Homo-oligomer: A and B are copies of this chain.
Amino acid sequence: MMSTQGLQMLASPKINSERLWASLMEMASIGPSPNGGSRRLALSNEDLDGRRKLLDWAELLGCTWQTDQAGNMFIVHPGHDNNLSPVAVGSHLDTQPLGGRFDGVLGVLAGLEVFRTLNEQGIKTRRPLVLVNWTNEEGSRFAPAMGGSGVYSQRLSLEDFRAARDKDSITLGEALDESGYKGSLTRHDLPLAAYLELHIEQGPILEKKGLPLGIVSGVQGLRWYDITFTGDSAHAGPTPMEYRHDPLMAATGFIEAMRQSVRDDVDGISRLTIGDFQVAEPSRNVIPGAVTLQVDVRHTDENALQQLDDTLRTHVKAFAEREGVSADIRELWHMPVTYFDASLVEDLSSAAQALGYPPFRMMSGAGHDAVNVSYVTPTAMLFIPCRGGISHNEREYAEPEHCAIATQVLCDALLRTANRE
């Protein structure tokens, strides 16, 4: 499955693509979902079964492991100098309720495949390697998402992390205490020299461009808003248009104008998503009294993201005035643009190029554990295409060939990084 160029790279140990694929499929069978995906909600029995399976595999390699306060798992592949801080690779094994077989899992099992390859060829790196499985990346059972990496990087307090409740009012803290994976270590006990994460793109760009992989140089920034337009509820029939104060018409006018502003971005980088459009007390023949929009705006450039914020506020004001309604903008989250470590991005690019693959640079559209880790550790990511850009879905699919190519690039980049003087 490797390219011809790849086969010629005799200097680099060759990963076993069939073994990688078999492990992906075996992990997918733990917590199988009805239509061929996986359901391993964070710290559920299925997630614990998945963790146990990973440890069984790691223990076959003679690896030891540790957990920190957030239940993040650190599986160690010793180096020549184990006093040096390790180079890490990883992602997450938890899934959405009807999740796919690759989101997160690929990053963990690719790291495992690197460990297996190094083990069977008796290769030791200068620095030790660590394979990380971050707790509760998905945030489906316990909000917020990327919780384990958030605690590790001190972007999220341990208290808030543990206080999150699932639908049955069980806290994450309670589930963690029962799981057997609660440790006492923190980032200061487990410093990392570098962190690399392989992930499916969860978007359509690589597939549309026909590329087997992308080198992720950063993550676009995002701003989340709740925007509420409030007018006067009234009967649909007896109220002439001119007397209405219709908040829905303000909201739809705003969205249409905002869409145009985003489409006018010639670079095609601005992104606008309205994930929910809630009508207060909806009734077919009643002019709504209020509507609330959940708005997600993204850009890869922080100045452009600020301009989108200005544009959004201008449009909200204009359309509220047009309809004679009031508007309230609540910004819930502002995640600035993240730029990954230039030297690690270069390691990934060199490894890809050496295998004959174009080192296509891209910015991630989605958040990942790597974003949190990047605040405290040099970090970079590698993407592969996923079919139709579909993720968080049982139909999620990545080609075995792409999984193998990227795992090989990851292996080679890890060797470069962990052997560097």
Using a CB–CB cutoff of 8 Å, the interface residues on chain A facing chain B are 201-205, 208, 220, 222, 224, 233-243, 246, 248-249, 251-253, 255-256, 259, 262-263, 268-279, 282-288, 291, 294, 296, 298, 364-367, 389-393
* A202 with B390: CB separation less than 8 A: no
Q: Using Cβ atoms and an 8 Å threshold, which residues of chain B touch A365?
A: 235-239
A284's partner among B275, B286, B298 (CB-CB below 8 A) is B275
* A277 with B275: CB separation less than 8 A: no
Given A234-B389, A256-B252, A277-B248, check contact A241 B220 (CB 8 Å).
Answer: no
Copies of this chain per assembly:
2
Q: Using Cβ atoms and an 8 Å threshold, which residues of chain B touch A285?
A: 224, 273, 275, 296
Question: Which residue of chain B lies nearest to A233 when distances are taken between CB atoms in the complex?
Answer: B393
Q: Say whether chain A's binding surface is mostly helix, strand, loop, or mixed.
A: mixed
Q: How distant is A95 from chain B, measured CB to nearest CB, in Å?
A: 15
* B204 with A272: CB separation less than 8 A: no
Closest 6 CB pairs of A and B: A203-B238, A238-B365, A237-B365, A276-B282, A236-B273, A237-B366
Question: Which residue of chain B lies nearest to A201 when distances are taken between CB atoms in the complex?
Answer: B238
Question: Which residue of chain B lies nearest to A273 when distances are taken between CB atoms in the complex?
Answer: B236
Question: Which residue of chain B lies nearest to A295 when distances are taken between CB atoms in the complex?
Answer: B284
Given A241-B263, A259-B249, A271-B240, check contact A235 B391 (CB 8 Å).
Answer: yes
Question: Which residue of chain B lies nearest to A362 when distances are taken between CB atoms in the complex?
Answer: B238
Bound: A165/B374 CA distance, A: 58
Bound: A7/B7 CA distance, A: 107
Question: Which residue of chain B lies nearest to A256 when distances are taken between CB atoms in the complex?
Answer: B256
Question: Which residue of chain B lies nearest to A220 when distances are taken between CB atoms in the complex?
Answer: B237
Q: Using Cβ atoms and an 8 Å threshold, which residues of chain B touch A249?
A: 255, 259, 274
